[in-house]
Structure 1
Amino acid sequence: MAATEVAQSRRVVTEIPGPKSRAIQERRRSAVAQGVGSVLPVYVERAGGGIVEDVDGNALIDFGSGIAVTNVGNADPRVVERASEQLGRFTHTCFMVNPYEAYVEVCEALNRITPGDHEKRSILLNSGAEAVENAVKIARNATGRQAVVVFDHAYHGRTNLTMALTAKNMPYKQGFGPFAGEIHRMPMAYAYRWPTGPDNCGPEAADMVIDQITKQIGAENVAAVVIEPIQGEGGFIEPAPGFLPAIVDFCRANGIVFVADEVQTGFARTGHMFACEHEGIVPDLIATAKGIAAGLPLAAVTGRAELMDAVHGGGLGGTYGGNPAACAAALASLSAIESDGLVERAREIGELMLGRLRDMAGKYDVIGDVRGRGAMIAVELVKDADRTPDPESLAKVMSFCHSRGLVLLSAGTYGNVIRMLPPLVIGDDLLNEGLDLLEEAFSLL
């Protein structure tokens, strides 16, 4: 049976993890560095649609998508065919040595679909962290400035610079310093936890950020403001309404490059092709990865031509950036997103999930907040009316769901957020079954 023929039904035939997965896990202990973790150590045999099947024959409902990567599914036949055809012709030349058309085609597609009708350029890279790091390089080079502004609860990657941009210490930064300098962290418009309430959050947070930049850094020294339009690892925090537009206006007025980190939110995930479109934001630079190539390593920076072209020849690139097989996969994946209507499908998924989860919030006090857009949905768990984070309940919910065959991810600065990122090709039956399991877990707390 090919991966694309995986039956779209949950099946639990052993305990999870099963005996074959446990045996591989034992081998892993003596082969793989302990610093590499796994949310759920079931070893995958094949996957497709909304199902991940393990080596023991268990079929799990996928609410993770490899952390928002397999938006078009794990084995879309168009992606498989196009990438396989490319592999049969050549695997690598390095675009900086002998270029090839697919790299150019991907850049053309990104220039077309990213927000704004201005002239754009793109570069292709390998990972989200690499994309963010290159966006900062470009902004610093183009402006001649050094300071970079980031936000509480942010996550931008695991390289030295992107660790500095990331807010959460454990596990991402602990013991890995010293970090890159000239990074300045600002308050985030986290509506659920804003002291004066959600209605005041957007304008108050924006005023606070602008005041701190002006007084503590000097706007004339800031090269870039880097922000996730919806924060990912931080807990799927949607900036309160009005916050992003105010920050963008401040950047425009002061010659600051506004960088949207759309690594987790991009490519139809939130019910727009890119999350910044929800508030009409047009970034100067946009960093993408994850969902761009349906699982093959690829990332990009796309932005205003005058910024991208300001960098001297040879200043951007990398040996594997824009690998030809990854480019082929990206072209097929982007075509599938558009032809299959996956932007609209993400909205349908969001409506279904948010509706059911808000019903659950009315029944279970542990659910403090339900939030998200499209197929990027989160539930924040709390202990009391004071909104004390409840990571203990999260651990119990995750354990129950994993044991029953539902792949869930956690997130949040306080370790108390369940995040859900189902493939955009998942069926409503699997969505509802997964939510049934989640509700059962809440009922047992």
Structure 2
Amino acid sequence: MISNADLRARRDAAVARGVSNPTGIYAAKAENAFVWDVEGKRYIDFAGGIGVQNVGHRHPKVIEAVRRQLDGFVHTAFQVLPYELYVELAEKLNALAPGDFPKKTALFTTGAEANEHAIKIARFATGRPGVIAFSGAFHGRTLLTLALTGKVAPYKTGFGPLPGEVYHAPFPSAFHGVSERQSLDAIEALFAHDIGPERVSAIIIEPVQGEGGFRVAPFGFLHELRALCDRHGILLISDEVQAGMGRTGRYFSIEHSGVVPDLVVASKSLAAGFPLSAVIGRAELMDGPGQGGLGGTFSGNPVACAAALAVLEVLEEQDLLRRGLALGELVTGRLQAMARRNDLTSIGEIRGLGAMIAVELVADRETRTPAPELARSVTALARRDGLIVLTAGHAGNVLRVLVPLTAPDEVVEDGLAILERALVEAEAGQPGS
């Protein structure tokens, strides 16, 4: 039987070092919230392929839709020979996206590709070059989306120079000492010192930051941001790549605030593991670029479209938006109980929205000094005991929960029990404990 160690050795010899594999586990099969590795060990999956498996691994309805499409055709390129699946998915996304106005959709392959096209659409519509993003943001690894991403190491290191006319404001986070007013004032400072508002095409924001550590944009701040954009003719882009498709209890996380963006970007759980992304927006904006200005050879692949249509059916039929809210309450409640334990003093903050929940670990609750080594130890101990959980955050000290919405309560409880034991063991093993 082949082992994880065998594959790690082959991977080290054959695969570029820059592609990370923090778990060292090589998957053999998966079902709903479980993954089995090549050695036959079963894991509870709190990672979901980085937020991709909201409807669970290999949901039967998704697999059946894909099989049907495989019997038809796999690829024609929508720009050459279009097909109904693309059109039907666009119709459904237009209906689901926030905003009581005509909308249109363009499909792509990855979240980064969609974010990049969203900026292209915004620049075309406004005739302006500038874009404002936020600290801690993650919008992709292409050069333009790297410029948008608000974290240097490891994403930007050595890849410069990056595209210009991209600026960053601090993301509001009370735990990290940034108020909503400070963030808004920082944008006004950008207008005064770096780029006038009349030269800014768009402000792009994750209503719940993904790689940034599941920091939730305050709803009042999003309303202020919307008003600021309206004052200056700037478009508001909501990056829902990780937070969308039911993860927070809404199709799109910005819906919780009641704020309506001009453009919405979706990917990850949209197609349950098949490469697909979308930009959904005001029809007049989406229709700006001429024919050929948007798209890509594999954009809106028919197999991925079939999977996405099945995902939307599953979200509705299984009432997974409601499930996302209930799951969030379950996870948050258990984490809060852990934080009250006398032998667990490293939990600095529990935060999130719906079932997008994170725990920030600190060396000291008073100083809030990040504890990245502790977080790495927790993930290693959890893997040993059969739980896959990932870190996030600027310092890598945040544990994030992205368990499938379809996971039964007892499976989630089992995973949280493993996480609790790992936290206790890791904290007990820290110097000074």
What interval of TM-score do these two structures reach, taking the shorter chain for normalisation? over 0.9
Aligned-residue offset at 1:19: 6.2
Residue 204 of structure 1 deviates from its aligned partner by 3.8
Query: In the aligned structure 2, how far is the partner of 1:38 from the partner of 1:271?
Result: 30
Give percent identity, aligned residues only.
Answer: 48
Residue 440 of structure 1 deviates from its aligned partner by 1.1
Offset at 1:211? 4.1
Given candidates 293, 296, 320, the residue that maps to 2:271 is 293
Q: CA deviation at 1:47?
A: 0.8
**Paired residue for 1:12?**
none
User: Aligned equivalents of 1:382 and 1:234: distance in 2?
Assistant: 16
- Aligned-partner SS, 1:79: helix
Ranges of 4+ aligned residues in structure 1 off by more than 6 Å: none
- TM-superposed CA distance for 1:203, in Å, is 3.5
- Correspondent of 1:396 among 366, 373, 377: 377
Q: 1:344 aligns with which of 322, 325, 330?
A: 322
CA contact (8 A) 1:63 1:421 kept: yes
- In structure 2, the partner of 1:379 is 359
In the aligned structure 2, how far is the partner of 1:207 from the partner of 1:428?
43
1:202 is the counterpart of 2:185: no
Does residue 362 of structure 1 match 2:340? Answer: yes
Equivalent of 2:88, from 105, 123, 128?
105
What is the TM-score of this pair, normalised by structure 2? 0.95
Offset at residue 215 of structure 1 (A): 4.5
Give the Cα separation in 2 of the matches to 1:236 and 1:41. 24
Give CA-to-partner distance per residue, 1:140-197, whole Å, 9 cap, x none: 00100000000111110000000010111111111111101100111110121116xx
Query: Are 1:414 and 2:395 matched, yes or no?
Result: yes
Separation in structure 2 between the aligned mates of residue 239 and residue 310 of structure 1, nearest angstrom: 30
Aligned partner of residue 296 in structure 2, secondary structure: coil
2:24 is the counterpart of 1:44: no
The offset of 1:433, in angstroms, is: 1.0
CA distance in 1, matches of 2:192, 2:302: 45
Q: Per-residue CA shift, 1:322-366, capped at 9, x if unaligned?
A: 001001011011111111101011111100010111111122221
Equivalent of residue 284 in structure 2, options 299, 306, 318? 306
What is the Cα deviation at residue 55 of structure 1?
A: 1.5
Asked if 2 retains the 8 angstrom alpha-carbon contact of 1:203 and 1:242, the reply is no
The answer to whether the Cα contact below 8 Å between 1:202 and 1:241 also exists between their aligned partners in 2 is: no
**Distance verdict in 2 for CA 1:116–1:241, change over 3 Å:** closer
Quote the Cα distance in structure 1 between the aligned partners of 2:59 and 2:334: 28
Which SS does the other structure have where 2:3 is aligned? helix
Residues matched between the structures, number = 423
Change (3 A) 1:96 1:19: closer
CA distance in 2, matches of 1:168, 1:203: 22
Equivalent position SS for 2:326 = helix
- Checking the alignment, whether the CA contact within 8 Å between 1:148 and 1:222 is kept in structure 2 is yes
SS of the aligned residue for 2:7 comes to: helix
Structure 2 residue identity aligned to 1:311: P
Q: 1:355 to 1:91 in 2, by over 3 A?
A: same
1:213 CA drift (Å): 2.8
> Deviation per CA, 1:64-87, whole angstroms, max 9, x where unpaired?
110111111111111111111111
**Contact 1:154–1:168 (CA<8 Å) still a contact in 2?**
yes
Q: Which runs of 5+ in 2 are unaligned?
A: 428-433
Matches of 1:181 and 1:204, distance apart in 2:
24
Please state whether the residue corresponding to 2:29 is helix, strand or coil.
strand
| Residue aligned with 2:369, SS | coil
Q: Work out the CA distance in 2 between the residues paired with 1:409 and 1:82.
A: 30
Q: Is the 8 A contact 1:210 1:247 kept in 2?
A: no
Amino acid at match of 1:430: V
Q: How does 1:46-61 map to 2 (within 5 A)?
A: 46-61=29-44
Q: CA shift at 1:39, angstroms?
A: 2.4
Find 1:439's aligned residue among 420, 423, 427: 420
Which residues of structure 1 form unaligned runs of 5+? 1-17, 196-200
Q: 1:164 aligns with which of 147, 151, 154?
A: 147
Say whether 1:85 aligns with 2:68.
yes
CA separation in 2, counterparts of 1:366 and 1:315? 50
For 1:244, which of 204, 210, 222 is the aligned residue? 222
Map 1:137-148; keep pairs closer than 5 Å. Answer: 137-148=120-131
